Chains A and B, each alone.
Chain A
Amino acid sequence: MELTTEGFVVEEGMDQHYDVLKELGDCHTMLGNFDRARQCYEEAALLAKDRPGPHVGRGVVAMQTGCHDEAERAFNEALRLDDNCAEAYGGLAMLYQQRAEYPKAFDYYLKSLDRNTDNLVALLGLFQTACQMGSFAKVIHYLNVYLERHPGDVSVLFCLATLYSHDGRLDEATEAIQTILTLDASNAEAVQLLKEVERKRAQASSEAASR
């Protein structure tokens, strides 16, 4: 064994203060203490001038307080520092969605999910935007990618089942709903959607018969 200092001397911790301030900002945001959150993000940004996280945090706070222009600047600053920042793309997508700029929102949700398929907020945002635009093919792909990593996520399974049903892919819709009901037998929305799918199936059968 060659003994080096690596094994027994911890040399991590250069980002620790940054981490604490960023986490503080996140918690304050979740609790609605937006002024305090903003302050924490600003202090974090001073400690790590090259990190996008605090700017994403500032963007989220600005969005929550209705300052959309400030939010857009903050998310873009995050992207200037890291053009692969999935959270910044997601933030901009939400902003465009709020402004009813659905094609732009859809595009940014996709950019966010391209960089992090695990982002549930972006996934649901993509789903909502797709519903507004009536464009579902790409959404189904990302929902399935997400479900490969989180097979028990009932809310995403429900979105997927809804989209399959909307697309007329009734067998796949039924399979997704049955998965939901296996996980949560009392899920009323799933039961309702299953009835809707069965109704569509019956309707399709009768139309086929009448032809």
Chain B
Amino acid sequence: MIAPYDTKCGPLVSVLVPTFNRRRYLREALESLVRQTHAHFEAFVVNDGGEPVADLVASFNDPRLVMLDRRENRGKAASLNEALQHARGKYVAYLDDDDRYYPRHLAALIEALESQDNCQAAYTDLYKVHCRIEPDGSRQVLGKVVNISRDFDRFFLCHFNHVLHVSLAHRRDLLARTGLYNENLRVLIDWDMTRRLAFFTDFLHLPEVTGEFYGPEGACDRISYRMRLDKVEYLKQVLTIRTARPAKPWPKMPDLSLIYLPDTMDAAAGETLRHIWLWTFMPYEVYLPLPPRQISRLDTDMPALVPVHVPDGTTRAARLNAALARATGDYVAVVTPSVRVQEMWVEKALYAATRDAEGKTAYALAPAEDGWTALVVRRDILASARAARPNAGLRESLEAAGISLRGPDPTQLPFQFDELLLNAQALEAEGAWLLAARSYAEIGRRYGNQRWMRERAAAAYFHDGAHNEEALSICRELNATQPTVSTVLLEAKLLKGAGKFDEALALLNQAEAILSSER
């Protein structure tokens, strides 16, 4: 029995290793695990009904490796859940059967998590190993690139998973609040969990490469990859993830109550609801205040839809008040019939509202119509305003309560980092390398993601050709603390260009060593 905490070794980490028909690569994955400098872990290797691997696991003769063998193939989520039933560690970490940790992977994560109280989850950077599968099944490495190195961004995580599961460790007790893995999902199982974790904790990003995962060229054997080829099924799974709502309270995630106010439940209203379901990526519930006769016309299995029954002939103001009385979100979006629902339709206003400390502003979603404006505002503020003027139009009640109404200004929009990044990439595509380099440097200064932006700046300076000193200076700085194959190679090219062949050679040998073997 491994102790949950050891004063010499630190906290116990439960490492979950689901596997299915990858016996060939599993040995390397487990070898990387038993070489961890943080040795205080228990690992659960769950064979999901694939070819036998118990003998392989036993060959390690390591009591920390526990084999959970089952005949039936039930999917990765079920494997992870089965492992979690046995886990006793303070932290949980993940290792897929074809991935590899570097020796400091667990140590880096656990040291970071133990040294602060704000974040109960942390993640590192990983190399994506581009490889060619040879006829004998061996993997020929074509390149190792850190293809995602992004500081934690809750809004962004709700839209796209920027935290690779293999790079993640988190407190196990968080799972009591998130719930277990969703066994109905076949793709994006990892994102579903990281997204749910983000309801309860911030994530700490350690921009240190601590492992690698494989990306074969051409068609891939990964189950998740094959599942994505069915676009309809994929979209259904994405929508399932986006509408997942763990039990409250959510200390870290804003909850949005969408109060939709169609005058009648006609085809246009049904289409608007469908678009809300399709496009909204922050957690929400839709409140639909209509007479039961109208609501019964609704034919949808949309989750997070809350019918609010009101008598026939109820005014729009009264319907708003009825829905508001039921709403539980931190923020309310009042959605009038004229609102055009499309990508980012409500998130811009919501993002602005969440960053408005006073909450004395409502953020418009669409132009006004008949004294009614679609908007996002804090629920408590709107509730006070409506309580004071229950029969008034929306704008009138807000004005009376001293709530100003406007659109978000550019500095309040989400994804500013991504907008600027796309602009810098467009400059690169036009050959404006110097401008691109300066853009990356500025983006890094203003929006974080320093390592990533500095690497891009160095590459752009190099392409510019006239600013190799800047490129070299950045590369040297990065390689002194956080070298990657890309930055080491770039520094070598710069030194070679300057005729310093000995120095370039040393760096190229360093890059070759990383590419040719594990670290």
Please list the residues of chain A having a beta carbon within 8 angstroms of any beta carbon in chain B.
1-3, 5-21, 23-24, 26-28, 30-31, 47
Whether A20 contacts B512 by the Cβ 8 Å rule is yes
Name which of B19-27, B71-79, B187-195, B502-510 contacts chain A: B502-510
A23-B508, A24-B512 known; A17-B493 Cβ under 8 A: no
Whether A7 contacts B511 by the Cβ 8 Å rule is no
Whether B142 contacts A15 by the Cβ 8 Å rule is yes
Whether A13 contacts B148 by the Cβ 8 Å rule is no
How far apart are A5's CB and chain B's nearest CB, in angstroms? 7
* Top 5 closest pairs, chain A to chain B, by CB: A16-B143, A13-B145, A13-B143, A10-B147, A27-B505
* Further contacts, 9 of them, CB under 8 A, given A16-B485, A17-B142, A20-B511: A3-B160, A8-B160, A9-B148, A13-B128, A13-B142, A13-B144, A13-B145, A16-B486, A24-B509
Whether A31 contacts B505 by the Cβ 8 Å rule is yes
Chain A residues with CB under 8 Å of B130's CB are: 13-14, 16
Q: Which of A7, A20, A27, A28 contacts B515 (CB 8 A)?
A: A20
How far apart are A7's CB and chain B's nearest CB, in angstroms? 5
Whether A12 contacts B145 by the Cβ 8 Å rule is yes
Q: Which of B147, B415, B485 contacts A20 (CB 8 A)?
A: B485
Give B275-303 as 1s and 0s: 1 = Cβ < 8 Å from A's Cβ atoms. 00000000000000000000000000000
In chain B, positions 438-460 with a C-beta closer than 8 Å to chain A are none
Whether A1 contacts B422 by the Cβ 8 Å rule is yes
In chain B, positions 116-174 with a C-beta closer than 8 Å to chain A are 128, 130, 140-148, 150, 159-160, 162
A13-B144, A16-B486, A47-B142 known; A27-B344 Cβ under 8 A: no
Interface flag for B501 (CB, 8 Å): yes
Chain A residues with CB under 8 Å of B422's CB are: 1, 7
Chain B residues with CB under 8 Å of A3's CB are: 159-160, 343, 415, 418
Q: Which of B162, B343, B508 contacts A27 (CB 8 A)?
A: B508
Give complex CA distance A23, B421 in Å: 30
Q: Which of B147, B415, B418, B425 contacts A11 (CB 8 A)?
A: B147
Whether A16 contacts B421 by the Cβ 8 Å rule is no
Q: Which of A2, A17, A26 contacts B343 (CB 8 A)?
A: A2
In chain B, positions 60-90 with a C-beta closer than 8 Å to chain A are none
Whether B515 contacts A8 by the Cβ 8 Å rule is no
Chain A residues with CB under 8 Å of B504's CB are: 23, 27
Whether A16 contacts B425 by the Cβ 8 Å rule is no
Interface flag for B492 (CB, 8 Å): yes
How far apart are B93's CB and chain A's nearest CB, in angstroms? 23
Interface flag for B183 (CB, 8 Å): no
Interface flag for B369 (CB, 8 Å): no
Chain B residues with CB under 8 Å of A31's CB are: 501-502, 505
Give B476-506 as 1s and 0s: 1 = Cβ < 8 Å from A's Cβ atoms. 0000000001100100110010000110110
Whether B142 contacts A7 by the Cβ 8 Å rule is no
How far apart are A117's CB and chain B's nearest CB, in angstroms? 15
Pick 18 A–B contacts, CB within 8 A, sort by A: A3-B159, A6-B425, A7-B418, A8-B162, A9-B147, A13-B128, A13-B142, A14-B130, A14-B217, A15-B143, A16-B144, A16-B515, A20-B485, A23-B492, A24-B509, A27-B501, A31-B502, A31-B505
Q: Which of A5, A6, A21, A30 contacts B501 (CB 8 A)?
A: A30
Interface flag for B419 (CB, 8 Å): yes
Give complex CA distance A9, B344 in Å: 20
Give complex CA distance A204, B319 in Å: 104
